[in-house]
Structure formats: C-alpha cells, structure tokens
Chains A and B, each alone.
Chain A
Amino acid sequence: MTMLTKEDRIYQCVSHVVMMILSLNVIIPMALLVISSFTDNDTLIRNGYAFFPENLSIYAYQYIFRTGNAVLRAYGVSLLLTAVGTALSLAVTIPLAYALSRPGLPAKRLLTFYVFFTVLFNGSLVPTYMNYTNVIGIKNSFWALLIPGLVTNGFYILLAKSYFSASVPGEILEAAEIDGASACQTFLRIAIPLAKPIVTTVGLFAAIGYWNDWQNGYIYLTKRADLYSIQNLLNRMIQNIQYLSQNVSNIRDADVGLAAIPSVSIRMAMAVVGILPILVLYPFLQSNFAKGITLGGVKG
C-alpha cells in the first residue's frame, strides 16, 4: 500500500498532534530544568523557578566541572558500565530465555518457576549486602556496580521467553535440527535473527537500568570515589540535601550542612549533566533499535 487514503492521512495527522502534545509535555519542563541550571542561585531562592529569570549565571556548571574532574570520570564510569553491563545482561538473559522456551525441556515448569520466584522474592538489604561483601567479596570494586541486581531479572527472562515461544516458530528450528545444525548453531543463526525485537528491547532495558542505577554505588562504594557513576554522584548530593533538610530539627548543625552543600541551581545542573549523554547518544542508538525491530518482523 503506497497510496495514502484520506483516512490514512487523518490518522497520521491525529498521531502527530497527539505525539506533539506528549512531547511538549516533556520538553517544557525539561527546558525549565535547563534554564534553572543557568539561573543565579539566589535568584532561584528569591523568585522561584522561571522561564525568564532575572539573573543568569554559569556558576553551577563551573562548580561541577571544576571539582577535580569528578564529573568527567563519572561519565566514563557510566558509559563503561552501561556498555559492559548490557552485553553481559544479553549474554545471560537471552540464552536462558531461549532454553526455557523449548518445548519438551525436562523440568521446564520447575525452572520457569525458579525464575519467576525471583521476580517477587529476594532477601532484604542486609542479607544481600552480606552475601556480596563477605561471600562474593566485591565491595568497593567495579564488579559491585555491575553485578548486584542488574545483570538480569525474572522479568527480562520471562518477557524474552514468551517472545521466543510465540514468535519463533518451532517448525523452523526443528527443520534446522533435521538438517544437521547443532542446537548452538540453530540458536545463533536462526533464532536470534528472528528475535531481534526482543533482543533489542531487553538490551535497551538493561542499558537504561545500568545507566540509571545509583543504589549499587551508594551501598557498595564507601572508599572508591573514583568509581562513582554519574547518577550516583548526582544522587549522593541530592540525598544529602534531602536528608538534611528533612531532619533539620534532629540533626545538629544540619542547617550549616545544608548551606554548605551546593544548592538549587547546582542540583539542576547536575540533573542536566546526567541526561546530556542520553540526549546526544540516543538518536544514534534509536536508529539501530528501529532497524532491529522492523527487520525482525519480516517473516518468510
């Protein structure tokens, strides 16, 4: 169908209008965020947030980029972590999901339950921490950012499993086996290309998970400030501010602490700094995403 019918055109029009509205809903607050990061701090406190502030200032960014390259290093850590983490996550999740989706697999129900159980149950903070610190011994290392909680989870696995079951026809795989291909070859040469959409989706989820995560660093990095990811760095500061401001009456000198920590405009600037790489890189990744999905949709 190459000719656009009238209905098609109306539909496209409506789609654009709706998406434009949704996009503006994001762009406007984001613009406010960026503008406040360039606003003089005292002005922010005096007059609140405004689209056209009285006084502009780049002090916030000067502060961030001056504090000993911490920000640039944090970017590096975030990028490395996301790249390695996503690769690791895919390598662990996709094969498992594929295996679970094979009909006739002995103990399939049991294994699926084994995976499913982890979606809803896990040990609380203290046992998990003790496990990773004492037994596995990864505290204060790069592994502490990579491994706890992020490599894969039942949700990704079940999502991919249901995709394999529904969209990768058993017949093709059996045909390949009859032709003499090993299970591994079938997986790599046939199943994966057919499953590009889900691989891309899980990869995207994993990447977002790794990029956004700050909890791991918060808990496991007590001595390695050089391993802070960008979100960890940002959230540390914000958590300090929130903690102090919400406990002013309990903590002695909390007010002094609050005044000492860089204030409103710097928090905004750090948030901008945190999403900047996404803004820059995502369009490139996005085209691969779309390609991956549409190609996978072609069925023979």
Chain B
Amino acid sequence: MSMAKQTAGSRKGKKPLRHFIPFYLMALPGIVYLFINNYMPLPGIVLAFKKYNARLGIWGSHWVGFSNFKFLFATNDAFVITRNTLGYNLAFIVVNTVFAVGVAILLADMRHRIKRFYQSVILLPYMISMVIVSYLVFAFLSTENGFINNSVLLHLGMEPVAWYMEPAFWPLILILVNLWKVLGYNCIVYLSAILSFDKGYYEAAAMDGATKWQQIRMITLPLLKPVVTMMTLLAIGRIFYSDFGLFYQVPQNSGALFSVTNTIDTYVYRGLLELGDFTLSAAAGLYQSVVGFILVLVTNLLVRKLDPASSLF
C-alpha cells in the first residue's frame, strides 16, 4: 500500500502509525456518526428488491428481483421525467453557479457596510418553505388577481395569460424561482473562499496596472476553480433528484404543465400516494442514488485527469 507515499508535500520518509493516532481520534466521532446515520440503515436497501409483508418482517419478506423498478421505466412518461430531471438540474448547475460566483465576487469587493444587509436579504428566501414560495408565485401569476396579469400586462395593453395552463413559460419560471431561492445560500461558500484569498495577489496585479475585470479573470476565477469544481461534482451526484416543493407545489400541481414539471420525484410521489408502497419508493431512491454515484465517479475521473487538485478524491 504505497498510497501514503503518493501524497504531496514534504515527505521525509514514512511516519510511524503511532504518529497518526491523534488524527484517528479526531476523526473518530465523525466516523462513528456516519456509521450510525448512513451505514447502519444501508442493509435496508434490500427492501427495493422485496415485496414487504409485516408478518415476515424485512428479512423474511420475499425477493422479487427488479420488479419494483418496473414502474419507473415501463411508462411513456419515463422519457419525459428523466429529461425534465436532467435538463433542469443541468440548467440549475450552470445558472446557479454563475450567479452565485458573480454575486460573491461583487460582495467580496464591496466596501460599504451595506453589503451585510445585502447578504442577509438574499439569504432570506432560503429560509422559507417552498410551499410559501408557491403562494407568492401564485400572487404574481394568478390568472384573475395576479400582479403580472393585473398590473403589468394590463398597463402594457396585453391580454391576461393563464400562466398555470401554459407549459411554455415554466422552464424559465422554475429556473428563476429556484435561483431566487438558493442564490444567497450558494454564494456563502464562494464568498468565504474569495475572502480567504491572499490579498497580495490583487495588490501586485493592481500595481502592474491590471483592470478589475482582468483581476477577476486572472486571479479570482482560477483560484475559485477547485471550489467550483467540487460544488459542481456534488451537484452532479444529485442530478437525478429534484426539489419536490419546486416541481410539485410551485406549479400548483397543475396537470397542464406536467410535460415540463414532472420529474422523477414527483412522478414517484403521485404514483405511490395511493399505493402506499414503500418498497417502490425505496427502489426509486436506489435508482436515483446509483445513477448519481456513477456519474460522479466518471466525472471525478475526468477531473482528476485534467486538474488533480480539483478532484474530490
């Protein structure tokens, strides 16, 4: 096992195991917690392959192979829900990252004390539940009383739009709503990263006559690369999941919009609401985890080839 020898830094020969004991002790609470919280329930994954009966319990219930997964694929909606989930998540990754990084750069450089106010304010949406957000969206998009129809379109002389019946607008609406909700939260990581960069670089660059934009392009962005890559990799791991509140509550569960708002999670929820079968939802969850996991592994390998410092592991 020569892994230890591969790590960067000044290595002066192999250190004895004894040397690392304090570190293992430091790591212990976390390791134990992850074991209890994540690894102990893992054997329950077998539920995805069984037909559950309370009399037999989890272990006694019968195996049914992959038939619990059928409902995810044996449907014409399978393409739509997969496309929607993937499509939105890719859009979210790009849009959210660009805006979060942008805002973080602006805030980092801001001198006035009001920047604290800005940062607090944009964090607020993250603290209210998506259901309340759906009511606020409704206040804007309601056909009869909505702000857009009544105040904006009316004054522009346009006809009111039945927003909840027209799928065409919703990809944009959902991306904007999602951005609104997570922007403040997402920029925390980037902001704290930027603030920790050595100011010396910027001073040197400024003395050399670099413009603000050049400084951002040459210093900030490259230094941010590892963080952005890591956040993106983690987002890729969740690429088959979706925010239930965003895709179910915000469109007010309107059937006319399903073609653009039905994701794997909402499909599973709707289908299983009356069936009440948790083996099916366990199967769906497993499917989402496995796909995400494979994608992250693959992407991480790619990243490791291109820029080893940025890879997750």
Contact = CB atoms under 8 A, between A and B. Distances in A.
A293 B195 contact: yes
Interface in B115-132: 115-129, 131-132
A214 B278 CA distance: 21
A112 B147 CA distance: 50
Given A162-B226, A297-B199, A278 B129 contact: no
Given A92-B33, A111-B31, A238-B131, A126 B278 contact: yes
A19 B118 contact: yes
B116 A283 contact: yes
Interface in A191-205: 197-198, 200-201, 204-205
Contacts of B40: 123, 131, 135
Contacts of B135: 49, 264, 267-268
B154 interface: no
B126 A201 contact: no
A108 interface: yes
Interface string B12-35: 001101001011101101110110
Interface residues of B, number: 110
B235 to A, nearest CB: 10
Given A12-B111, A96-B26, A170 B9 contact: yes
A148 B129 contact: no
Given A104-B4, A104-B11, A96 B30 contact: yes
B107 interface: yes
B174 interface: no
Interface string A117-142: 11111111111101100011000000
A214 B10 CA distance: 47
Contacts of A11: 109, 212
A91 interface: yes
Given A8-B212, A197-B193, A147 B128 contact: no
A151 B38 CA distance: 12
A179 interface: no
B211 A7 contact: yes
B26 A95 contact: yes
A50 B31 contact: no
Interface size class of A (residues with CB under 8 A): 35 or more
B180 interface: yes
Interface string A177-195: 0000011100100000000
Contact of A293 (B103, B185, B192): B192
Contacts of A117: 38
A11 to B, nearest CB: 5
A122 B38 contact: yes
Nearest to A147: B37
Interface in B31-83: 31, 33-34, 36-45, 47-48, 58
Given A95-B29, A271-B128, A120 B38 contact: no
Nearest to A24: B121
B195 A127 contact: no
A91 B111 CA distance: 33
A117 B34 CA distance: 10
Interface stretch (A29-37, A59-67, A218-226, A254-262): A29-37
Interface in B273-288: 273-274, 278, 281-282, 285-286
A293 B196 contact: yes
A278 B139 contact: no
A95 B23 CA distance: 8
Nearest to B237: A120
Interface in A224-241: 231, 234-235, 238
B192 A197 contact: yes
16 contacts: A20-B118, A30-B124, A32-B136, A100-B27, A123-B42, A127-B42, A128-B37, A147-B37, A151-B37, A162-B227, A171-B10, A197-B192, A201-B189, A211-B127, A234-B129, A282-B123
- 4 A-B pairs with least C-beta separation: A127-B44, A48-B145, A123-B41, A96-B30
Interface of A: 1, 7-8, 11-12, 15-16, 18-20, 22-23, 25-27, 29-30, 32-33, 36, 47-50, 91-93, 95-96, 98-100, 102-109, 111-128, 130-131, 135-136, 147-149, 151-152, 154-155, 157-159, 162, 166-167, 170-171, 174, 182-184, 187, 197-198, 200-201, 204-205, 208, 211-212, 214, 231, 234-235, 238, 242, 246-247, 250, 264, 267-268, 271, 274-275, 278-279, 282-283, 286-287, 290, 293-294, 296-297, 299
